[in-house]
Amino acid sequence: MWPSLNSSTIQLLGLFSDAINTSEPTTVSVHSRAMFKAAIILSQRYNITIDGKYIEWQTIQTGGDLMNSLSSTCRILPNSSIVGIVGPSFSREAEMIATFADSIGLPVISYSATAPDLSDRIVYPAFYRTVPSDNAAAFAMVELFNRYNWTSCIIIYQNDVYGFGGARIINEIFNKHGLTVSNMIIFDIRSLNVRGDLKRILVNSPSRIVILWTAASYTRLILESAFNFDVLGPRFTWILSVSDIINSFNWTVHQKLVGMLSLEPVTGSVVNAPINTTLLKSACDIWQQYEPESFPGVTMIDYYALFAFDATWSFIQALQQCCCCPTALNNSLSDISIVDSSYCFDRHFFNGNKFIHTISTVEFLGISGLIQYSSNVTDRINGNYHVVKNFQSFSNGLGVVPVLVWSDLHTWQIYTETNVILWPGNTLSPPTGRADMIGVTLRIAVIEIHPFTMTKNVIDDYGRNSTKLIGYFPDLIDLLVSNMNFIPQIILVPSNQTYNSLIDAVANGVYDMVVADMTITATRREEISFSSSIFDNSLRIITRIKSAEEMDLMAFLRPLSLKLWIVLLVSTLCSGFLICLFERQDNPALQHRSFISLGAMSAWYSFGTIVGYGADFTVTTAAGRLVTIGLYILSLVIVATYTANLASDLTTSKTKDIISGIDDIKNGKLSYNRIGILVDSSIEEYYLRDVSGGIHNFYPIQQDSEIYSNLINNIIDAAIMDAGVLEYATSSFYCNLTLVGTDFDQSAFGIAIPKRWLYAEDLDINILLLRESGDLDDLKRKWFQGITCSIASDIITSTTIESMSGLFVTFITIIILSLFTYIWKKCYGKVK
């Protein structure tokens, strides 16, 4: 029984959330009311008086009803000496009470109203609060998400000032820090129902973290619905703004609540910040003295009750300052009169604005931490502390354990008394926070194309034949199944189905994904989405290997031009004539010869000197030697030039292909209708964009396999296709086809998925993990490095008879001429 009160000069009004004579009192209301009274009785024991009289109290139990709060306050204010209001509990009440109190010059200090809009000093000049604002809670929430690498969430909030304000500030701060609020769901506090289909919204959301920003009574209702819809743990991780809900549920529900978290404001003692233990002990002694049946023990007092004590003590300290320092309010508080009226809106606290300002100068160490108010906002300076509590199962039932603590001076830290968090599903591993595919059946379309996806006939242990899919993509699907635990329903689509038709099938929900050599393009992204790259791709040109060379009788003469050959012939004849002229009289080798023999010997000398092999005689005259020097100089240059050009021509003839690369196709060196392009593919998009300027002048290919048969049958001369496919085909099966030029139009293959697909983030992360671990590189080595075609047989390294046919024809001609010469000599005498 609290002591009865005498008439006093000064009173403080306390507003508390329980209804009058309620059969279900809340911990917050009972504890806060007790600490409010304890603070005032403690001021009396400390002999704090105003004009010789003690401070006393009046209380109202509002039931959380907004109109009841205002009407009850209006009824009690007339004919009273109330100079301040401690409370109210809820933000929706505080918004109206703070506005009303400001109009009559009455200060308000709340101990549990956390809505961020209440921080506005301009809108609420008479309002203060000792509890941290939801602004601080939102920053703490961001750092909690960063700690566990969560990137998105769902927010369920009640449709009042507290819910709207909390959801808004969390959404704003999340957006500033690169986090996503995927869904915002309203809980109607009038109908007591969630607006919309709770199960459908949660199940179809890409996030699996649910922030529940509602009061305790609404939290219980929402969790009951979530339990019935089976959207609690382990599928979802719930973060509540309250934790005092355990006693509302039975044992079956308790098991689904294991792993949930609550984020709540706390006092400095939780984070090892200094508090006033003397005041705390004294207040607890008073509480135990007058209301022992509700006292839970020092460590079990509700944190909001501690804020209520400091709110009350702030008024007491401000009143004491006014009493001790009369100049603060023009002489003394006894000079402050209350203009009373039976109508509460006409009641006015004279000089109330100066008293409101005095509160902003109060500074003391309270039982929740350092109390010091800001002049710019309605919140405390510092003293923002939060705790994360974890719902855990114990032998005697469900319990709530503090596991992490946060303050505006440091980020989340492990709570000193425990460091173990039990997550949904009774696991110690933190959830990913995103939708996963565990147990989900997915319809996966694949296309048969070597070596990405191939079919193989296998015989099982019972002798039955079956078809098995092998290749790069089936192995990739197996790796994803192993990591993500989904159930694949693989569908091998007909070979005549185009890539663009598969895009439409994904967009229309026929398939959940397509795992194929499908290039990621901007046009396709307009219809569907793609995963991270599963294969780095580019385009190459394939053509036939050049066939054996046709006979060319003039090939050995091509290193020098026709004009140069004529000049050499004339030079040989002229130098022969000069040798004959200069040497015929003095050179014994030329004496006594007929005119024909003399000319032949002279020409022979010139030819032998030019080619570097010399002749049967040497010149004896000075003029003849000068001609020989000229022939040597000519020989030095001509022979070297001929040898170099001949080697170059022979090398070029061995390596020359029909075209050298994509530039030759763009420049028209190949007839466009002899170029094969796969229709309805990204390759067709490239050709129309970069080669033909939108003109369909190519040879249409319906299936990949047609490329090789059309090249072999000489229907087309070249085709453009994905580099990986062509490299495998030309090294394993089509040894008479080859790739020309370098890679171009670099791109990537991705898994085709619907837009805004629920599991897109989970799929991307697992693909990146496969890439980082080297598994994708292992698959590429496994399926793309097998070579069965002989490289040596594909490349001509020797000079063929065809390329030298003209040389041998010339040689045979000379041999025939020598035979004729021999016969003529035998028949007509010795040639001189």
Percent of the chain topping pLDDT 90: 51
CATH architecture of 11-132+270-325+334-383: 3-Layer(aba) Sandwich (3.40)
| 356-414 tens-digit pLDDT | 999 999 999 999 999 999 989 999 998 899 999 999 988 888 899 999 999 988 899 99
Q: Is the pLDDT of residue 555 over 80?
A: no
Q: Checking DSSP bridges between strand 699-701 and strand 675-678, what pairing results, if any?
A: parallel
Q: What is the mean pLDDT of residues 407-426?
A: 86
Q: Helices in 584-696 by DSSP H: which ranges?
A: 595-611, 622-655, 662-666, 682-686
Q: What is the pLDDT of residue 642?
A: 79
Q: What is the pLDDT of residue 761?
A: 86
**CATH class of the region 555-649:** mainly alpha
Rounded Cα distance, 125 and 108, in Å? 10
Among 255-259, 577-581, 618-622, 809-813, the range of highest mean pLDDT? 255-259
Asked if residues 302 and 387 have their Cβ atoms less than 8 Å apart, the reply is no
Rounded Cα distance, 707 and 246, in Å? 69
Number of Cβ within a 10 Å radius of residue 345? 11
The backbone torsions φ and ψ at residue 55, rounded to the nearest 5 degrees and listed phi first, read -85, 140
Rounded Cα distance, 180 and 536, in Å? 30
Asked if residues 417 and 438 have their Cβ atoms less than 8 Å apart, the reply is no
Rounded Cα distance, 39 and 390, in Å? 32
Per-residue burial over 132-146, b if 16 or more Cβ lie within 10 Å, else e, is: bbbbbbbbbbbebbe
Rounded Cα distance, 175 and 172, in Å? 5
Q: Measure CA of the first residue to CA of the last residue in the chain; give whole Å.
A: 158
Nearest alpha-carbon partner for 782 in 540, 470, 518, 493: 470
424 residue type, one letter: P
Rounded Cα distance, 140 and 98, in Å? 27
pLDDT band, very low/low/confident/very high, at 221 (cuts 50, 70, 90): very high
Indicate the DSSP class of residue 737: E
Q: Is the pLDDT of residue 36 over 90?
A: yes
Q: What is the pLDDT of residue 328?
A: 43
Query: Per mean pLDDT, which range of 168-182, 320-334, 423-437, 652-666 is the poorest?
Result: 320-334
Q: Is the pLDDT of residue 264 over 80?
A: yes
Query: Per mean pLDDT, which range of 538-542, 692-696, 790-794 is the poorest?
Result: 790-794
Rounded Cα distance, 607 and 466, in Å? 78
Q: What is the mean pLDDT of residues 564-569?
A: 80
DSSP string, 311-377: HHHHHHHHHHHHHH-GGGGSS-GGG--EE--SSGGG-EETTHHHHHHHHHT-EEE-SSSEEEB-SSB
529 residue type, one letter: S
Q: What is the mean pLDDT of residues 471-493?
A: 93
Rounded Cα distance, 630 and 605, in Å? 13
Asked if residues 206 and 150 have their Cβ atoms less than 8 Å apart, the reply is no
Q: What is the pLDDT of residue 727?
A: 86
Q: Is the pLDDT of residue 789 over 80?
A: no
Q: What is the pLDDT of residue 317?
A: 94
For 290, residues 6+ apart whose C-beta sits below 8 A from its C-beta are: 1, 2, 3, 37, 41
Q: Is the pLDDT of residue 586 over 90?
A: no
Q: What is the mean pLDDT of residues 754-771?
A: 91
Sign of CA dihedral 673, 675, 676, 677: negative
Rounded Cα distance, 694 and 719, in Å? 18
Asked if residues 310 and 371 have their Cβ atoms less than 8 Å apart, the reply is yes
Rounded Cα distance, 44 and 286, in Å? 12
Task: Give the chain's length.
Answer: 832
Q: What is the mean pLDDT of residues 789-793?
A: 54
Nearest alpha-carbon partner for 16 in 367, 308, 290: 308
Rounded Cα distance, 440 and 164, in Å? 35
pTM for the whole thing? 0.69
Per-residue burial over 793-825, b if 16 or more Cβ lie within 10 Å, else e, is: eeebeeeeeebbbbeeeeeeeeeeeeeeeeeee
Superfamily of domain 441-536: Periplasmic binding protein-like II (3.40.190.10)
Percent of the chain topping pLDDT 70: 89
Structure tokens at 444: 């996966």
- How wide is the angle at C-alpha 520 spanned by C-alphas 516 and 521, nearest 5°? 135
Nearest alpha-carbon partner for 438 in 759, 47, 811, 67: 759
Per-residue burial over 167-192, b if 16 or more Cβ lie within 10 Å, else e, is: bbbbbebbeeeebebbbbbbbebeee
733 or 277, which is more confident?
277
| 519-540 tens-digit pLDDT | 999 899 999 999 999 999 899 9
Q: What is the pLDDT of residue 333?
A: 46
Q: What is the mean pLDDT of residues 463-482?
A: 90
Q: Is the pLDDT of residue 673 over 80?
A: yes
658 or 28, which is more confident?
28
Structure tokens at 153: 């969430």
Q: Checking DSSP bridges between strand 152-158 and strand 180-188, what pairing results, if any?
A: parallel
Q: What is the pLDDT of residue 552?
A: 63
Q: Helices in 703-759 by DSSP H: which ranges?
A: 704-712, 723-732
Q: What is the pLDDT of residue 331?
A: 45
| 441-451 tens-digit pLDDT | 999 999 998 88
pLDDT band, very low/low/confident/very high, at 304 (cuts 50, 70, 90): very high
Asked if residues 544 and 717 have their Cβ atoms less than 8 Å apart, the reply is yes
Q: What is the pLDDT of residue 466?
A: 80
pLDDT band, very low/low/confident/very high, at 189 (cuts 50, 70, 90): very high
